[in-house]
Amino acid sequence: LTTNFEELLSLFRDYVLTLKDERVADFIAPLDWSMPHRNLQPHKLQSSSLLDRITQLVSNDARPLAAMLAEHRDDLHWGQTYKADDFGQDFIDNYGWLEVFGTRGHFENDAIAGGLLILGPNIIYPDHHHVAEEIYVPLTGGTLWRKGEGDFIERDADEIIHHPSNVNHAMKTGSEPLLALYLWRGGPLAVRPTVTNGRS
């Protein structure tokens, strides 16, 4: 079975274009969606088993993208930035990301990275920050998100969350898994975020 990677990129684009938000529009304005394909070997993760439930939870706008991820989960090149030593084995078993485009993803882009993050239920992703400016769009609701020194706030599916450069952020999932879309620009696109010990 060969993954139609062009379908992955076009479904990602189709979803992003449903978001009527000036910050998203500004991120994607310089993007040329005809990016060169990068040959990546499949890299499976345990967390991709969550995609069956996730596909049931997402909005109609996001369902084609989530269903594509679920269908082709074993052909895609999933990644993890952390090890069990960082946040524990339970985190590692319930965490993973897929870079659709960027400096290491399925499509080549040196200026902007775009991808998807999975977190399982009842997972804490502690405070962390990075130079790149970031937009997150949760595709499933029910996760608590914190920015800076603020409180944890439950965010709905298809909301826009903006993290300026080097501003801490953290997530706590609830009883359901999280799938979130991300966009990065303006900094190294393949770095390990700086993890801040602190309140979580």
Minimum CB separation of residue 79 from Fe ion in Å reads: 14
Counting contacts by CB under 5 A, is residue 158 touching Fe ion?
A: no
Using the minimum distance from each CB to Fe ion, give the nearer residue, 99 or 134.
134
Q: Measured at CB, which residue is nearest to Fe ion?
A: 134
What is the DSSP secondary structure assignment for residue 191, as one 8-state letter?
-
Helix ranges (DSSP H) in 97-143 = none
How many whole angstroms separate alpha carbon 138 and alpha carbon 130? Answer: 19
Minimum CB separation of residue 130 from Fe ion in Å reads: 6
Using the minimum distance from each CB to Fe ion, give the nearer residue, 127 or 134.
134
Minimum CB separation of residue 184 from Fe ion in Å reads: 8
Q: Are strands 153-155 and 78-79 parallel, antiparallel or unpaired?
A: unpaired
Counting contacts by CB under 5 A, is residue 133 touching Fe ion?
A: no
23-30 long-range contacts (CB < 8 A, ≥24 apart) are: 23/135, 23/160, 23/162, 24/135, 24/137, 24/160, 24/183, 27/112, 27/135, 27/183, 27/185, 28/112, 28/183, 30/111, 30/112
Minimum CB separation of residue 122 from Fe ion in Å reads: 20
Using the minimum distance from each CB to Fe ion, give the nearer residue, 5 or 91.
91
Using the minimum distance from each CB to Fe ion, give the nearer residue, 127 or 158.
127
How many residues bind to Fe ion according to rule CB under 5 A? 1
Using the minimum distance from each CB to Fe ion, give the nearer residue, 11 or 135.
135
Counting contacts by CB under 5 A, is residue 134 touching Fe ion?
A: yes
Task: Please name which of 77, 69, 76, 84 lies closest in space to residue 181, comparing C-alpha atoms.
Answer: 69
Binding site for Fe ion (CB under 5 A): 134
